A and B are shown apart, each in its own frame.
Chain A
Amino acid sequence: MALSPRKKKKLMEDDEVIVMENVSKSYQAGVPALSNVNLRIKKGEFVFVVGDSGSGKSTFIKLLLRELIPTEGNLYVLNYNLNKIKHRKIPKFRRNLGVVFQDFRLLKDRNVYENVAFAQRIVEVPGSQIRKNVPKVLATVGLAGKYKAKPGKLSGGEQQRVAIARALVNRPTILLADEPTGNLDPNNSMEIMKLLEEINNAGTTVIMVTHNKDIVNAMQKRVITLRKGVVVSDHERGGYDDED
């Protein structure tokens, strides 16, 4: 008798990618970095998470990456219960996420091609496949001609494009961008936002943490505002000014 494949228990609705139910995170007893957060993010959404320094934005991202575990409440991402996920399953979970940081975090001793290929090697993609995928994703971010350049020879905007290419090459379901325009001038920032929008239009859920009001106001996407660890507003289409 053939064995039926083991089905994973359904923890969230089919169209949802992130569910937070009364999620709190405290680093010290009685001092919550996030407090009682309830939200649901659907597949294909573009979400800004905004707030001042110390509002809990970084904690929010770290919880989604399963770098931290909630002190209270339930956190589900892509049908993984992040409160209970086993240590050995974390890598498999993270392969569904792409991450972009403010400081790019590129490997300075490797060129553009190698930085992107690195992400594929880590998830054990065969070499022949890497040689096909990397040029394709570099073309998507507009860096096909600079594949041999070392990060030090690139502008900030170009370095962030490499970081985005590295995040995209493994075809993540969710792209987490932590202040991706924080180190860029306004022109480069808008270029990066255009790229993120294109990625989102192609079906990837984008969650971007920022405190850049101009960008948030210009994009008119869903905006979740955090203040002192509490969600003070969550607008379907809004701007940074909506927080009050």
Chain B
Amino acid sequence: MKISTFFYTLWQGIKNIFRNKLFSLASVATIGACLFLFGLFYSVLANFQHIVKTAEEDVCIVVYFDEDITDSRIEEIGNMIKRRAEVSKVNFVSADDAWETFKTEYLDGYSDGFLENPLADMANYEVYLNDVSMQSALVTYLESVPGVSEVKRSELTALTLSNANKLIGYISIGIIVILLAVSVFLISNTVTIGIAVRKEEISIMKYIGATDYFVRAPFVIEGIIIGLVGASIPLGIIYFVYNRALNFIKEQFSVLSSLLNFLTIDDIFKTLVPVSLIIGVGIGFFGSFITVRKHLRV
């Protein structure tokens, strides 16, 4: 294709958009809304996954011992746990360590009244796993080990997070699919109106000897530009809104922000920008391409 033809086609595509201002605007708005929701769900989902992953890394089994257990037996049990394949890390927390941690985290300088260690029997092993799903099997094993009084687990937290993650994922996909279908339909309508408006011009082009490509290309370009604009606007909005929302959460819910580790906008945009642009351009191309093939038998 000649460079002059390329620019002519591009210019015609841009002019088409302004010829059907209202329909173009409707298409941009729908794609924009679709990709805004996509971005929103993605941001929530990505953060959720990040939080779940962090939580999974922190999920550990705590193994407590019988009151009269000897130090050598504790060490023996520790070695047994370390040998298990599903175990990634084992930390021994002595009664003194446990008390120190408790004092720091919860008493904040008000521990002077305690003359003895109230957690004297709370020495334990923190057992970290390679895979959270192996937790039940390990717990069953540990509970049968002589000298172990109690095994505490946090499987419920991990499972709840995982399930919530999945649910949000399914809802997001459902809504996005519906919006994508509406976007394709609207782009198709916009292009159909464009073809109707330019019917006379297209018929002259055909008589003069325009190729299929030459007649169709401006409409496809129109669709792609609509898709591109429709994708860019929500990205800008998300950039603005995300940082504000993060600041708001940090200010208003400081407890949450200290517990949960949120992703930065840069982390979100690494995936969101290319995916949104590809989806926007893809919808534009697909919607206009199927329409010109259907309505423009040149």
Contacts and interface: CB of A to CB of B under 8 A. Distances in A.
Interface of A: 65, 87-88, 91-95, 97, 99, 105, 107, 118-119, 121-124, 126-127, 166, 170
Given A107-B201, A124-B5, A170 B208 contact: yes
Contacts of B206: 94
A156 to B, nearest CB: 18
Given A107-B201, A107-B204, A126-B2, A121 B8 contact: yes
Interface size class of B (residues with CB under 8 A): 10 to 19
B167 interface: no
Given A93-B209, A95-B209, 19 more contacts: A91-B210, A91-B211, A94-B206, A94-B208, A94-B209, A97-B209, A105-B204, A107-B201, A107-B204, A119-B208, A121-B5, A122-B205, A122-B208, A122-B209, A124-B2, A124-B5, A124-B214, A126-B2, A127-B4
B106 to A, nearest CB: 77
Given A105-B204, A107-B201, A107-B204, A91 B209 contact: yes
Contacts of B211: 88, 91
Interface string B197-228: 00011011111111110100000000000000
Contacts of B208: 94-95, 99, 119, 122-123, 166, 170
A119 to B, nearest CB: 5
Contacts of B209: 91-95, 97, 122-123, 170
Contacts of B8: 121
- Most A CB within 10 A of own CB, among B4, B200, B207: B207
Contacts of A127: 4
Contact of A88 (B5, B200, B207, B212): B212
B112 to A, nearest CB: 89
A91 B206 CA distance: 7
B207 A99 contact: yes
Interface in B1-59: 2, 4-5, 8
A95 B207 CA distance: 8
Nearest to A65: B207
Main secondary structure of the interface of A (DSSP, over half): helix
A126 B207 contact: no
Interface string B254-293: 0000000000000000000000000000000000000000
Contact of A94 (B4, B203, B207): B207
A87 B298 CA distance: 9
13 contacts: A88-B211, A94-B207, A94-B209, A95-B208, A95-B209, A97-B207, A105-B200, A105-B203, A107-B201, A122-B205, A122-B210, A123-B208, A124-B5
Contacts of A91: 209-212
Contacts of A119: 208
Contacts of A92: 209
Nearest to A170: B208
Contacts of A122: 205, 208-210, 214
A22 B207 CA distance: 25
Contacts of A166: 208
A22 B204 CA distance: 30
Q: 8 shortest A-B CB distances, which residue pairs?
A: A95-B209, A94-B209, A122-B210, A91-B209, A91-B211, A99-B207, A122-B208, A119-B208
A4 to B, nearest CB: 28
B216 to A, nearest CB: 12
Nearest to A115: B204
B227 to A, nearest CB: 26
A123 B4 CA distance: 12
- Most B CB within 10 A of own CB, among A91, A97, A105, A123: A91
Contacts of B200: 105, 107
B35 to A, nearest CB: 33
- Most B CB within 10 A of own CB, among A88, A119, A122, A170: A122
A2 to B, nearest CB: 28
Contacts of A95: 208-209
Nearest to B205: A122
A126 B4 contact: yes
Nearest to B4: A127
B224 to A, nearest CB: 21
Contacts of B204: 105, 107, 118
Interface string B226-243: 000000000000000000
Contacts of B212: 87-88, 91
A82 B28 CA distance: 43
Nearest to B207: A99
Contacts of A88: 211-212
Contacts of B201: 107
A94 B5 CA distance: 19
A92 B5 CA distance: 17
Contacts of B214: 122, 124
